[in-house]
Amino acid sequence: MDRRTFLAGTGAVLLAAPLAAEAQQPKMPTIGFLGANSAAAQTQWTAAFVQRLRELGWIEGRTVSIEYRWAGGRSDRYTEIAAEFARLKVNVIATAGNEAAIAAKQVTSVIPIVFAVAGDPVGTGLVASLARPGGNVTGLSLQFTDLAGKRLELFREVALGLRRLAIMAHISSPNAVLEMHEVQTTARTLGLEVSTLEIRRAEDIAPAVEALKGRADALYVCGDPLLNTNRIRLNTLAAAARLPTMHGFREHVEAGGLMSYGPNFSDLFRRAADYVDKILRGTKPTDLPVEQPTKFELVINLKTAKALGLTIPPSLLGRADEVIQ
């Protein structure tokens, strides 16, 4: 072999070496993040999820890829997004809410699905049981309906003389319907007059609140991505109608609602990241029991209370986890 042939061959080997090394790089795992709300509506929750992933060694863009899609509270988008994730062959789908998780489950029985929050996942058929979820779905259960009585109890401490209660629910959401029925039952045992506002789309919110003027003393808002996405608009309308509001999400109170009692959603999204971590490391969803919230918080908006002419009892303020001035 002459010198020129040797050098040419050596150069080809050196040129091929980095290409071969690049080809041998393992493909970065991908998380399909199906946001049931808008990106702005769940900024804190998403940040908590990503931060926990970082703590576990999954750094976005370096050790893991995250594909974000936002449904904006529109249930018709869930299936469309889940189908896209199936085509992309993501390693795991992370989402929140019964509808979004059920839509993903209907699209794929192979890709693991982790729900950060879901109300009564057994009752809505999302999982077989909390201890043994079965299939490709697992996550964290809200058991939201169990808190309806506690919310009404707290609400009555502020809305003194409450006789007529209106309940707003996104009627297409299985969890919201379950919560609405639980609130109705509890309210009637307390001797309250109950009226329901069945919302199907964002455009229904304004006329529904307008119809309440003079017909209700307070408004209970059932938890749902559609109403959460439109929470600023909803609370502005309720304030104009001089209606105190009760919610299950603290984010509603930060947006002008009167009070909320429920799980800490940022904590639930952090815990969902633990599920994703385990799945990316080889654990099957069926081997990960559905867990329940461990942190509950009472949040009161004192500014809203003053605007409505309500006095918050000192005993209730003392029990609040946060008071927004």
* DSSP per-residue codes, 301-317: EHHHHHHTT----HHHH
CA–CA separation, 73 and 315 (whole Å): 36
CA–CA separation, 247 and 228 (whole Å): 10
Residue 6 has what pLDDT?
Answer: 46
With contact defined as beta carbons under 8 Å apart, do 233 and 208 qualify?
no
The pTM for the full model equals: 0.81
Calculate Rg over the CA atoms of the chain. Answer: 24
Residue 19 has what pLDDT?
Answer: 46
Residue 249 has what pLDDT?
Answer: 87
Complete edge-to-edge strand list for the sheet that includes strand 113-118: 65-70, 30-35, 92-95, 113-118, 137-141
Residue 181 token pair: 């029925």
Residue 26 token pair: 């393992």
CA–CA separation, 64 and 81 (whole Å): 20
Domains by residue range for the chain, with CATH:
30-141+264-294 (3.40.50.2300), 145-263+297-324 (3.40.50.2300)
Q: Tens digits of per-residue pLDDT, 138-165?
A: 999 986 667 888 999 999 999 988 999 9
Does residue 4 carry a pLDDT above 80? no
Q: What is the mean pLDDT of residues 256-269?
A: 94
Does residue 211 carry a pLDDT above 80? yes
Alpha helices per DSSP H over 63-173: 76-88, 98-107, 148-158
Pick the more confident residue, 92 or 249.
Answer: 92
Does residue 118 carry a pLDDT above 60? yes
CA–CA separation, 325 and 320 (whole Å): 13
CA–CA separation, 227 and 37 (whole Å): 9
